[in-house]
């Protein structure tokens, strides 16, 4: 019997317990969790800069017990290709992206999970800047 495959994407530049909660809940939806991490080049195109390099962020995510595979995210259009390539059953994002990826429901189930209250990468960065 085929494992139920779940995929999510993110930059994961300031890894915090909200990210861990998202990954744990995403993994609970299936048996195998793939995490796409924005490359440094893709972040630059989005106008973002990470403290950690792609390789360091990949290393951090690979060490999390809920994550089975880490792949590079190099462009927005890649998601459809990844859904097909990895035979994904469920695409997961935080609900701050609600509706933005509904078009992927043609390929798999699309689920938006609630964000963890009281924490965000922006909040962490802002508190460190003061």
Active site residues: 46, 48
Are 9 and 35 in contact by the 8 Å Cβ rule? The answer is yes
Q: How is residue 85 annotated by DSSP?
A: H
Question: Do residues 88 and 6 lie in contact, with contact meaning Cβ atoms separated by under 8 Å?
Answer: yes
Burial 26-46 (b: 16+ CB within 10 A, else e): bbebbebbbbbbbbbebbeee
Which of 34, 41, 43 is closest to 13 using CA atoms?
Answer: 43
């Amino acid at each position: 019997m085929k494992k139920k495959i779940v995929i999510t994407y993110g930059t994961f530049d300031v890894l915090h317990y909200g990210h861990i909660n998202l990954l744990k809940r995403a993994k609970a939806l299936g048996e195998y969790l793939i995490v796409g991490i924005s490359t440094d080049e893709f972040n630059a195109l989005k106008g973002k800069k990470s403290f950690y390099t792609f390789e360091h962020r990949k290393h951090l995510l690979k060490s999390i017990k809920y994550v089975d595979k880490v792949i590079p995210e190099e462009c927005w259009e890649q998601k459809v290709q990844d859904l097909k390539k990895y035979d994904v059953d469920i695409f997961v994002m935080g609900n701050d992206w609600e509706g933005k990826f509904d078009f992927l429901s043609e390929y798999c189930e699309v689920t938006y999970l609630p964000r963890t209250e009281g924490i965000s990468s922006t909040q962490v960065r802002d508190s460190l800047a003061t």
